[in-house]
Structure 1
Amino acid sequence: MSKLSALTFTRNTGAKHTATVIFFHGSGANGEHMQEWVNLMTKNFKFPQIKVIYPTAPLQPYTPAGGQPSNVWFDRADINQSVAEKLDSVERMGVQVKELIKSEVDGGIPINRIIVGGFSMGGALSLYTGYRWERNLAGVFAFSSFLNNQSIVYQDLIKSSGIKLPPLLQIHGDNDDLVDLTWGRNTYNELKKYGVNGEFHVMPKLGHSINKRGMNIISDWIVNLLPDV
């Protein structure tokens, strides 16, 4: 799998900022596409005090695509909540994500002024990040995302009972034909059971996609967590 240097980033704010949002795209896409999609849905996702980073996942074999190379954050046995995680693949990406966050911290952004979030697989990566690798983040958001039923995230949270965790915002369409709404709800309820506080919003008549209403909810949530200082 490609190393961190192969990841690219697109920033939509100037150099002066006091906080960072990292927005991970879904499987098969890229950071530039994610940024264009967000900008198409809402004009409210640009913040004077916040730098938004849209990374691109490395090209690697993806089992649900017949093993063909795809820009994905990690491999999966199948797009199904009941299968086991491919933990080696997930953990390799974890190293790169932690390096990306560290680069922001080294640049002067406190860890508690960084939010991670994403769409579909990118949202799942954000859940791994905020509830397994970097629990001092300001928040986590996930749009049309899920974790596997026996996820290592849940197992880790059981062992870490009582610690403070980043707040969660989850959004899901009720007409999602790729990631069933019940998978998103199950994920949210499991995380809540293990101490994660947050909110879950259902988007009526929305398939496997982001929408204007959902992105505006995320934008307002971000501003609330990362006010100008």
Structure 2
Amino acid sequence: MLETVEQQTGAVPEWSVIWLHGLGADGHDFAPIVPELVRPHWPAIRFVFPHAPKRPVSINGGMPMRAWYDIVSMDFRSRADTAGVAESVAQVEELIAREQERGIPLDRILLAGFSQGGAITLATGLTRREPLAGLIALSTYLPEVDAAARQLVEGATAQPVFMAHGSGDPVIPLQIAEHSAQVLRQLGFALEWHRYPMAHQVCAEEIHALAEWLQLRFAHA
């Protein structure tokens, strides 16, 4: 099982958010977002921030770094190595199962990710027969987007999706993310899309919009 950083907003969590970091970062990267995101009246939440394994990354000269998969190409249609994506999806499923064992039902578990972590979030969501409470994909894209319809399993589209991206993102171009959002909508996902005048990052307006989206999830539980 992956090592994780955890934060709880209350003594007895009723919800879990598993949040995957980007390439070269670690589980500490998004932990500071919790006090900015959480609202006082929300139910108690356990935030789980796993560390990706260290692996050689081809576009980084083969240097090992924390990564959810190897980046083998600059072409987004074949950018992510499929074996690495599948391995990370399996590791995320282990974390989801652990939250269930700790008493959090699937319909109160949210999966979030930034950049590479968001790609794994979307890849995991496509293959879940038992839907989670929602998927949060920030500054990211859907790996193997052209094969998404073949990967999709029955029940997966019951998961609402929040996607946000920077219009000036130099790492993952806006049109790549927009295409992923379009495909997910065509597959049947209820997807909320946001675009911000920023680069490959997260902004305050985005955090506020995500909080509004999460508020709806908690209200409908």
TM-score, normalized by length of structure 1? Answer: 0.87
Shift in CA distance, 82/10, structure 1 to aligned 2, threshold 3 Å: same
Q: Partner residue of 1:126?
A: 121
CA distance in structure 2 between the aligned counterparts of 1:19 and 1:173, rounded to whole angstroms: 28
Q: Select the residue among 54, 78, 98 that pairs with 1:83.
A: 78
CA contact (8 A) 2:137 2:163 kept: yes
Q: Partner residue of 1:185?
A: 178
Further displaced range: 43-52 or 59-68: 43-52
SS of the residue 2:99 aligns to: helix
Matches within 5 A, 1:35-114: 35-36=31-32, 38=33, 43-45=36-38, 47-83=42-78, 85-114=80-109
Q: Partner residue of 1:224?
A: 216
Further displaced range: 206-215 or 139-148: 139-148
CA contact (8 A) 1:12 1:51 kept: yes
Q: Select the residue among 4, 7, 10 that pairs with 1:11.
A: 7
Q: Select the residue among 198, 212, 221 that pairs with 2:191.
A: 198
> Are 2:206 and 1:211 aligned?
no
Q: Select the residue among 16, 24, 29 that pairs with 1:20.
A: 16
Shift in CA distance, 25/117, structure 1 to aligned 2, threshold 3 Å: same
CA distance in structure 2 between the aligned counterparts of 1:186 and 1:99, rounded to whole angstroms: 29
Q: Which has the higher strand share?
A: 2
CA distance in structure 1 between the aligned counterparts of 2:144 and 2:86, rounded to whole angstroms: 18
Alignment RMSD (CA, Å): 2.2
For structure 1, the residue ranges without an aligned partner over 5 or more in a row are: none
CA contact (8 A) 1:146 1:187 kept: yes
User: One-letter code of the match for 2:18?
Assistant: I
SS of the residue 1:60 aligns to: strand
Displacement of 1:33 after TM fit? Answer: 1.9
CA distance in structure 1 between the aligned counterparts of 2:17 and 2:28, rounded to whole angstroms: 15
CA distance in structure 2 between the aligned counterparts of 1:71 and 1:134, rounded to whole angstroms: 29
> Are 2:160 and 1:167 aligned?
yes
Displacement of 1:7 after TM fit? Answer: 2.0
Shift in CA distance, 8/210, structure 1 to aligned 2, threshold 3 Å: same
* Count of matched residue positions in the alignment of Structure 1 and Structure 2: 219
Displacement of 1:152 after TM fit? Answer: 4.5
Shift in CA distance, 215/90, structure 1 to aligned 2, threshold 3 Å: same
CA distance in structure 1 between the aligned counterparts of 2:98 and 2:168, rounded to whole angstroms: 38
CA contact (8 A) 2:28 2:49 kept: yes
CA contact (8 A) 1:80 1:148 kept: no
Displacement of 1:64 after TM fit? Answer: 1.9
Displacement of 1:219 after TM fit? Answer: 1.6
Shift in CA distance, 201/72, structure 1 to aligned 2, threshold 3 Å: same
Shift in CA distance, 43/67, structure 1 to aligned 2, threshold 3 Å: same
Shift in CA distance, 217/83, structure 1 to aligned 2, threshold 3 Å: same
